Amino acid sequence: MLRLETIGSLWVGLLGLLATGGCGSSTTSTSANFLYSLNSGGSSVSGFSQKSDGTLTGVSTASVSTASNPLYMAASPTFLFTLGNAAGTINGFSIGKTGALTATSQKTLAFANTNASGLYLNPASTSLYVLDDPGSPSVYQYTVGSTGAVTALSPTNVSSANAIIQTTGAFDPSGDYFYVGTNNAMEWYTTASNGALTAAGSLAISAPTNTMASAVVVSPNGKFVYAAFPGQSPSDQSYMLQFTRNTTTGALTAMSPASVTSPSGPGWSGQMAVTPNNGFLYVPCQDASPNVIAVFSIGATGTLTAGTSVTAGQLLNGIAVDPAGAYLYVSDALANDILQFSIGSSGALTALSPPTVTTGASSNPNILFLVAVPQ
């Protein structure tokens, strides 16, 4: 079974309309939503515009120049970056008002990244990070200039106390803390004004069937953190670990119960999505038979309760929710398309019409990011 490793934390973007008034008149600032799909099979990024009914329409396709198929992507309303698993090159793009991507930079990494396991952009779009798993377990750190140029920070990397294997990370909404799921632990780092990371804490964890997180997400209100641990074989059960987060110190505390189980099979994918109102968590289950989108409601204290899963797709992987929390999108690497759903008040998913949009033959879409670009 193909497993596409990613990371990612979901970028929520800018919400709604901002109004300012003066002298009897007002001006408004709006944003347009664009969804981007990293296509590992096609070495490309597909761009889509979100229409008012939630359906997607193609905008542009940017060629990704890598020596091997790209596996990692990070995006904000300003920039989008990709990283191949063995090429050693970060490719950068600026995002225009129409959603079109324009190449801005190409950065050759200063280390052999055959073990890279994730690419992350801070909320301010000023810093970029690469997770590298053994034998040099570290977070490599870079600044992002106003034109999108990527420059290594000094020091170039921050060592992990744990081996980073098949793991992922996520920023808190403020960008002050970066969380990484590692072997048997959750780690967190503080970020300096220049983007440099400093190890701030670690919490030992015990996942019943697996010691490697496949996805980490911080809730939009910054109060909760969730880490998905998939089973290693069809007989294993997947677990979702849940933590409360001290919004002042960044420290994590395991909830009670410390975990909930997957409603179907062993296969959490590499991305999760939380609605902007902190009400629901969605996770694609790619190794389950059949594939499902797991649905959880989030209680007032952050605890998860499994809802009704949605059976869909052949190899589910990436996932994104729009800034209004009204629509959800999931990539299918085998069907070469993106599934589109509306989100009901109870968190239930309903397929849109049409239910999918193609990313192209043999494109193998995986990571998704939905960003709100100022107009």
HSE, side-chain direction, 13 A CA sphere, residue 338: 35
- Joined tokens for residue 63: 């060629």
Q: How far apart are CA 308 and CA 296, in angstroms?
A: 8
- C-alpha distances (whole Å) from 322 to each of 102, 179, 215 are 23, 23, 19
Go through the domains of the chain in sequence order and give each one's CATH number.
18-374 (2.130.10.10)
Dihedral, CA atoms, 375, 123, 138, 317, nearest 10 degrees? -60
CB 186 within 8 A of CB 122: no
Cα-Cα-Cα-Cα dihedral sign, residues 217, 220, 223, 224: negative
Burial (Cβ within 10 Å: 0-12, 13-18, ≥19) of residue 144 = buried
Q: How far apart are CA 240 and CA 232, in angstroms?
A: 14
What is the chain's pLDDT, residue by residue, as a tens digit (375 residues)?
344 444 343 333 333 322 333 334 344 569 999 999 999 888 889 999 999 999 999 998 877 655 456 889 999 999 999 987 655 788 899 999 999 999 898 887 766 556 778 899 999 999 999 987 656 678 899 999 999 999 999 998 898 776 655 478 999 999 999 999 877 789 999 999 999 999 999 998 876 655 678 899 999 999 999 998 876 665 667 788 999 999 999 999 999 999 998 765 556 778 999 999 999 999 998 766 678 899 999 999 999 999 999 999 999 999 999 999 999 999 999 999 999 999 999 999 999 999 999 999 999 999 999 999 999
